[in-house]
Copies of this chain bind each other. A is one copy, B any other.
Amino acid sequence: MTARGRYRKSAVSKRQVVEAAVRALATNGYAHTSVSDIAAEAGLSKGAVHYHFESKEDLVSHVADHCAAAVRERVRQAWQAPGTPLERLRSALREMRSARREGAPELRVIADLMVQAINEPKLRPPISAMFVANRAEVVSNLRETFDALGLETRLPMSVVPRLLLATLDGLALHDFFDPGDAALDDAIEQAIEEIAATLFVPKPVS
């Protein structure tokens, strides 16, 4: 077993711990998840967890990275459907809604860590980065198809993704505590599309 082999094993274990932590945190929430729980979920001993991470805080901040990346990836994929901007918007909306409905572990963890981040600034960077990246993804996608289709917005480009993603996130929040029926979901989808249609207009020939 070479040095490389060792290194690899360590890296594998470390990742196992992070993934176990995601599962544990998603299941029980930060306030009810102990290092023991995580170790058990990872099939390792408590000592091993502390071998890989200096402290629980340290581990959690790695978890934040991991989850933020996972969510970023989800968003990226959601916005890469083919079609017109409206079709993409619809696809993204559906994808994200279904992710929330299924209770994707990373999303639960992110929600939890966002709250922890209020008081632990160390946790904020990955989450902030996630927000920024998500908006950037929307921007680049929109810009691309806008160019292709000769569209433009009646709003500043800095506003569109923020407003759009904030709306989607806010809807998810409301959905959790007071889920509407399928008809309402559809109505909201239509409303958003309608609004988008009034905002995305053909570019005047210059």
A204 in the interface, Cβ–Cβ < 8 Å? no
A44 in the interface, Cβ–Cβ < 8 Å? no
CB distance from A46 to the nearest CB of B (A): 11
A73 in the interface, Cβ–Cβ < 8 Å? no
Q: Which chain B residue lies CB-closest to A117?
A: B177
Residue pair B29, A115 in contact (C-beta under 8 Å): yes
Number of chain A interface residues as a range: 35 or more
Contact surface of A with B, Cβ cutoff 8 Å = 27-32, 108, 111-112, 114-119, 124, 127-128, 131-132, 154-156, 158-159, 162-163, 165-171, 173-174, 176-178, 180, 184, 187-188, 191-192, 194-195, 198-199
22 A-B interface contacts by CB (under 8 A): A28-B119, A29-B116, A29-B119, A127-B177, A131-B174, A131-B177, A132-B178, A154-B194, A155-B191, A159-B187, A162-B171, A162-B174, A162-B184, A162-B188, A163-B191, A165-B174, A166-B167, A166-B170, A166-B173, A170-B170, A170-B171, A198-B198
